[in-house]
Amino acid sequence: MKSTRIHLHHYVIVKAPGLLPMLYKICELSLELRIPDRTLRDWLKMGAPYLHDSGDRIWINGREFAHWVEGQRKPKNARKLTASQGYCMHCNKVIELVNPKTIPIQGKLVNIRGSCPECSAIVNRGDRLPSRSTGKTVSSTGQ
Ligand SMILES: [Zn+2]
């Protein structure tokens, strides 16, 4: 089972959707995303889209790159966490939240905050409250 997860810096995730539908040179794009050239070259090797011109120069289409970044953020086998789980950035895995608290943010959005049972770091996860009750809740999906 091979899955190369690429660590995308927060700034890249925020910035990528704003990239223009133009061709960037490696040095331009790395400047734009505030990452070292070398990191960007690594991503190209790992599957980020780019073009080669006849002079052996590399060009990266901003929109295609943004699309790739988007794809990296959503692992195919992302599982839904249960209400009591969260992802610990320190342990790099899903953990059972210790003492989770639900903090309303806005509308149906809530933040669930608890701590990691292994390293005690604070773990936050965003969630969405179920739609306002329509009186019918289908909960029997099993056999
Ligand atoms: Zn942890």
Q: Tell me the pLDDT of the chain (143 aa) as tens digits.
A: 455 567 788 899 999 999 999 999 999 999 999 999 999 999 999 899 999 998 889 999 999 999 999 888 765 555 677 878 999 999 998 999 999 999 998 888 899 999 999 999 999 998 888 765 554 445 444 44
* Total domains present in the chain: 2
Q: Are residues 64 and 111 in the same domain?
A: no
Give this prediction's pTM.
0.50
- Residue 80, domain member (yes or no): no
Cα-to-centroid distance, 72 and ligand 1 (Å): 23
**DSSP H helical segments within 7-99, as ranges?**
10-15, 26-33, 37-45, 62-73
- The confidence score (pLDDT) of residue 139 equals 47
Cα-to-centroid distance, 90 and ligand 1 (Å): 5
Q: What share of the chain is helix, strand, coil (3-state, %, to 5)?
A: 25, 30, 45
Q: Are residues 100 and 63 in the same domain?
A: no
- The confidence score (pLDDT) of residue 67 equals 92
Q: Are residues 21 and 45 in the same domain?
A: yes
Q: Are residues 18 and 67 in the same domain?
A: yes
Cα-to-centroid distance, 26 and ligand 1 (Å): 36
Q: Which domain holds residue 105?
A: 85-128
As residues whose CB is below 5 A from the ion ligand 1, the structure lists 88, 90-91, 116, 118-119, 121
- The confidence score (pLDDT) of residue 127 equals 85
Q: Are residues 55 and 17 in the same domain?
A: yes
- Residue 138, domain member (yes or no): no
- Residue 97, domain member (yes or no): yes
